[in-house]
Structure 1
C-alpha cells in the first residue's frame, strides 16, 4: 500500500503542486462538523433547569426570611427568682472588687499577670456557661456553675488585692 501512494505521488506531483483546494468544500466540511457537535441537550431541558433553580432559590429565601431565629438572652432570673437574686448580688460584689483592683493595680503588673490571665480564662468559661443556658433554659447545674463563676471571680479578685497590698508593703519596707 505504501508503494501505491509513493507511486501515485511521483506521477501526480506536478499536478498536485499546482492545484489549490476548493475553499467552499473545506468550509462546508467544517460547518457540518460543528453542527454535529452542537446537537446536545434539547431546548426544553434548559427551560426546566432554569425553572428548577428559580424554585430552589425562592424556597431558600422564603424559608430563610420566615424562620429568622430571635436571639434570646437567658438570665438566671429566668430560671429561678432565687438564683437571679444570688447572681445580681455576686455580680455587684465582683464589679466592686474589680473597680477596687483597677484603682490599686500598678502600671507594671507583670508579677500579677497570672491572676489577670486566670480572670480571662474564667470569663471564657462563663461565656460557654451562658451559651449552654441559652440552649437549655431550665438547666439547674449550669445555673449553679454560673453562680460558682462569680464566687471564684470574687476570690481571685480578693487574692489580687492581697498581692497588690503585699507588693506595696514590700516596696515600703525596702525603701525604709
Structure 2
C-alpha cells in the first residue's frame, strides 16, 4: 500500500512538472545557442558519417593471431585435462613411496605374465581366455584410478589399488602353479608311456 501511494505521488509530481513547463515555456526558451552552433554540429555529424570503419590487413591479422592463440591454448588445456581425467591418477602421482609400490607390483605382474606366456601347456584358446580375464582385472584397476582422480587423498582407494595388485599377483601365481602341476603331470604321463613302450 505504501508503494502505491508513492507511485501515485510520483505521477502527480510528473503531471505538475509537465504543467509548470507548459505554462512557462517562454521562460525556458530564452537562451539560444551561439552563432554557428547548428553548422558546427552538422559538420561534425558529416565527418562522423564520412568516416567508415575499415578493417585494415594488420587489424585482421592481429585478430586472427589472438583467435588462434585462444583456440590453441583451449585445445592444450582440454587435452591435458582430458587425458588426466580419462586415464585417472596413478599411485606414483600421489607420493614417491606409492610410486615404488606400484613399480614393484607392475614388475612382478609383468614377470608372472611372461612366465605364463612361456608355458607350453596352454593352447591359444586358453591363453586368449586368460588374457581376457587379466584385462578385466585391469579394467577394475582403471576404475580405481578414476576414483583416485576425484579423491586423491582417499586412503581407501589407495589401499584398494594396492590390494588389486596383490590379488592380481596372487591369481597369476596360482595360475602358474596349476600350469606347472599340469606340465608335471604331462611329463609323468610321457615318461610312463615311454617306459611302457620300451618295455614292450
- TM-score, length basis structure 1: 0.54
CA shift for structure 1 position 129: 0.8
The answer to whether the Cα contact below 8 Å between 1:132 and 1:142 also exists between their aligned partners in 2 is: yes
Q: Take 1:130 and 1:108, find their aligned partners in 2: how far apart are those partners? A: 33
Q: Distance in 2 between matches of 1:109 and 1:135?
A: 39
Equivalent of 2:123, from 96, 104, 108? Answer: 108
- How far apart are 1:113 and its partner, in Å? 7.0
- List alignment gaps of at least 5 residues for structure 1: 1-61
- Equivalent position of 2:138 in the other structure: 123
Aligned partner (choices 154, 166, 182) of residue 151 of structure 1: 166
Superposed CA RMSD in Å reads 2.7
Instruction: Work out which of the residue numbers 46, 59, 84 in structure 1 matches 2:99.
Output: 84
- Mark the runs of 5 or more structure 2 residues left unpaired by the alignment: 1-69, 193-200
Q: TM-score, normalised by structure 2?
A: 0.49
State the 4+ residue runs in structure 1 displaced beyond 3 angstroms: 65-68, 109-118
1:1-176 aligned at under 5 Å gives the runs 66=74, 68-69=77-78, 70=80, 71-72=83-84, 73-108=88-123, 116-175=131-190, 176=192
